[in-house]
Structure formats: structure tokens, C-alpha cells
A and B are shown apart, each in its own frame.
With several copies, the nearest count.
Chain A
């Protein structure tokens, strides 16, 4: 399990290659990349600053990944979240999950993203023409998390 909170950018292709290395039982890799959009809530975004709670962040991500590993058959996972100053089209977050079969990889990847959005201590501040503003949490993110409280069934 690779968990990293970093200022530097990441390379999706290289991360997935490393996740898969020497694991010929892997049949499926689902991955997600979150990006800085140039427009959010109707305003042009010139830049974004990501603050976090250093002592808690990695632990929170590790707990989310461990919970996903309890719920689905996963072989390995990678979570990378960037901090610091980011600009439109920059990569913010990567979640990649390897498993034998695709349903586990998809479900675990989406689960990790949903919980990261509501329980990993990151905060975004956007620079817009109207000034700097802290991004508000979205209610849809809470809703997305809550749908996982029931066991996932096909």
C-alpha cells in the first residue's frame, strides 16, 4: 500500500506500473485522478492552495484504504494527494486499486475517493477574481459517503 502526501506532481502511468509490478494475479486496475478545474462554482479559478493537517493526513488515508481492503478483495492500492499551490489542469489526487476482478477495483477506488472527500484533513483555498475563498464542503460529498454505510451488493 503506497500512501503519499506530497508537493510534487505524480505520474499516473508510472504509479500504476509500480502498483502492478510482480503481481501476475492482478486482472483489474481502477484508477482516479482529480484535477484543478479552471472554473468552480461559477468563478474563474486562477490558482488553488491546499492546506492539510500533517500529523493526521497520512493516518486518515491509511485508515480509509484499510477499510476498503476489509470490504473488497483488493491486491494493492496507491493513494497520492498533493498539497501546496496548484493551478488549473494540475493533478490533485490519485487513487489506484489493483484486484483480481473489476468490480472490487472499481468499488474500492470510488469508496476511497468518497471517504477521502469527507474524512481526510485537506482544505482548498481558491484564488478567484473576487479574491481568495475557502472552498465549501459539498453536501453531495456527504451523501456519497453515506451510501457506503450499507454493505455493497451487486
Chain B
């Protein structure tokens, strides 16, 4: 299945991409599995998404944790802790 993934701010710049379609196995999938796929790319992906790094994930525009389910057609965003206000 296809998941639309967005990156913002520092992560967008470090990954050099603002939006992409990621291919994941069909069926029940969690945020953690998407992160594994991205980390497997190595380099800056493995580094910035490593355990202990501060980043946030939103699924369909809602903040979500690692065990949140994602399904075909969902929009997942990965970004640094927010700094507005």
C-alpha cells in the first residue's frame, strides 16, 4: 500500500525532500514500521530517526505515537518538535 509522507522544517532540509509516497506492506501497519523502512535507507535517515532523536509524527494531521495504526491513503508527517508561538 502507499502512504503519503511529509517532512517539515529541519528534517525537510536534512532529508532533502518535502513529500514522497512510501510503499509499505498491505494490512495492519504501525507508525513504527514506516519509521523502520525510512531508517533502513541509512545515512541521514538512520541518523535523524534513530531512537533518542527528538521528532514528532502526525497521522492524518493529528499527533500520533509509534504504535498508531496507518492504512492506505493516510497522510503521515514527520517533523522536529514545534517552535511556534
Contacts and interface: CB of A to CB of B under 8 A. Distances in A.
A contacts B directly in the complex (CB < 8 Å)? yes
Interface of A: 34, 50-53, 55-56, 59-60, 81, 92-93, 102, 113, 116-125, 134-137
B16 interface: no
Contact of B83 (A55, A56, A59, A137): A137
Contact of B82 (A55, A92, A113, A120): A120
A117 B85 contact: yes
B61 A116 contact: no
A interface: dominant SS? mixed
Given A93-B85, A122-B85, 7 more contacts: A53-B8, A56-B77, A92-B84, A93-B84, A120-B84, A122-B83, A123-B9
Nearest to B58: A56
18 contacts: A50-B84, A52-B8, A53-B58, A53-B79, A55-B61, A56-B61, A56-B62, A102-B85, A117-B82, A117-B85, A119-B82, A121-B84, A122-B83, A123-B9, A123-B82, A124-B84, A134-B10, A134-B80
A136 to B, nearest CB: 7
Interface string B15-53: 000000000000000000000000000000000000000
B81 interface: yes
B6 interface: yes
Contact of A123 (B6, B10, B62, B63): B10
Contact of A137 (B61, B63, B80): B80
Contact of B80 (A92, A102, A123): A123
A81 B75 contact: no
A102 B85 CA distance: 10
